[in-house]
Structure 1
């Protein structure tokens, strides 16, 4: 596999693929953070999580067209507005779904799986009806186009660096929210002992709704980031949902640190293998490696002690 390359070529390949893996890691992290909050904190298997991501991508697409047509002078800054609107749209839809559907299915994980899988099909058809079956792409501002020449053989795309910067800020923000805020303390209290949390005055239903909305809102931001590295279609979210669940389970449910470590490991392995092997083979090898590790450590890389 490596015999046809010199050491210089291999070093350049590993650096380039490593950076490509970091971009994939950024999208995976944003997706997995939202899913870890929903699955790890609430025990809900949200099979429609990819469709919340694609809602954020379509919101970004609409913002791109609106700013190009009506506010061309502000077009260079439209992406920040698009990310905020993607978070609001996906988060609001998530809170509506929690109120109308999910709250009736707590402590029934298989039922949440079936219900959210049906929801994903409904959302896919809705996107297909509104936006059409063809994939669409966004127009990036000029400052996000191009790359930085590191060496003669290594170039780093600017939009990739931007996605990683956004991911870093959001990850820090989520960590501060969960471990340094009153809301985060309430969420952790509900996870550890729901009856006792309710007994001391915490509105557990409100916490559940806001938590589900937060997870879906982060998925919407992941959709905005996704538009920089791929085109958007009604079923694009399904390409990421399996990998995202794998990341959450591998990292350890309810562990944000485990989610980040798992996303980094899987994205880097997959990106490097895809250069030397086919994409499907790389996924199979990655999956087998993760399954093998989970057989030795079924609780995942990191776990939290939860009072039962």
Structure 2
């Protein structure tokens, strides 16, 4: 095998890691907002991802059966609806469940785990117990070849671009909007935030809903690289928590860096060994780093 062929294989394997990075980043961003900013352990976060994926599937089925001429245009619209549906359910869950369990992390963990199991059963009953996949528009199919022997899948490029747009949007919202200011004030000192007129309960509800909505976008992105089943979201929940804790629970920048590091480590090592061994190696690397730096890569300096 020539050096150029090995280089192309390495680049394609690295790009496969970027596709995984994009999904982990979107999942991690939503979880970083919920867990990092609010301290809520949401074990149902993966099911909000599944809601986004199933939204794309339902849109695909509806449009293909009734409006086939709209197939090239349905996907971006379904992404917006995936965010909207996950956002609305997140709002309801925070109002009906989470708000009663603040400062009770074990109860929150158990309650959201029960919610996760309930949503999985709803997916099995209402949609299908089997994995499903949407019909993707033609412009998402195929690959781009910048040089001979190097083929980059267009769906992976799209997912990467989507993750970039969402990440930039979240960072701008967090540091340049009134919502972001209220979130940071609430995290810094909840009592003082209440004293200056910030409705911290409304801020918590909106923050939780936005985090769930971003998970919905992650699910929509996931449909371009894999099929969706009732337990698809739960398969990513552990990796998402690893991304958030490894990067620093309250650091959005840490989420970006850790998602990239985990995805690339896992993707590149899978080329040289089995998937399970690559997972063990990646987890061992994370454990060693956290033993040396328990606060994560980027510790948040917050006054309590």
**Residue equivalent to 1:65:** 61
Alignment partner for residue 249 of structure 1, among 222, 227, 245?
Answer: 245
> What is the CA distance between 1:11 and its match in structure 2?
1.6
* Unmatched runs of 5 consecutive residues or more in structure 2: none
**Residue equivalent to 2:16:** 20
Find runs of 4+ consecutive structure 1 residues off by over 4 angstroms.
Answer: none
In 2, Cα distance between the equivalents of 1:14 and 1:111? 45
Equivalent residues, number: 304
TM-score by length of 1: 0.97
In 2, Cα distance between the equivalents of 1:101 and 1:121? 15
Secondary structure of residue in 1 paired with 2:144: strand
In 1, Cα distance between the equivalents of 2:299 and 2:67? 48
Alignment partner for residue 174 of structure 1, among 136, 160, 170?
Answer: 170
Q: Does 1:101 align with 2:101?
A: no
| Equivalences for residues 33-72 of structure 1 within 5 A | 33-72=29-68
Q: Does 1:287 align with 2:287?
A: no
Secondary structure of residue in 1 paired with 2:157: helix
> What is the CA distance between 1:10 and its match in structure 2?
2.9
Secondary structure of residue in 2 paired with 1:173: helix
| Equivalences for residues 142-157 of structure 1 within 5 A | 142-157=138-153
In 2, Cα distance between the equivalents of 1:296 and 1:303? 13
TM-score by length of 2: 0.98
In 2, Cα distance between the equivalents of 1:71 and 1:91? 27
> What is the CA distance between 1:303 and its match in structure 2?
1.5
In 2, Cα distance between the equivalents of 1:15 and 1:73? 36
Alignment partner for residue 120 of structure 1, among 93, 107, 116?
Answer: 116
> What is the CA distance between 1:111 and its match in structure 2?
1.3
Alignment partner for residue 27 of structure 2, among 31, 34, 44?
Answer: 31
In 1, Cα distance between the equivalents of 2:192 and 2:186? 8
> What is the CA distance between 1:6 and its match in structure 2?
5.1
Q: Deviations over 1:259-284 (max 9, x none)?
A: 00000000000001111111110000
- Root-mean-square deviation (CA, aligned residues, Å) is 0.9
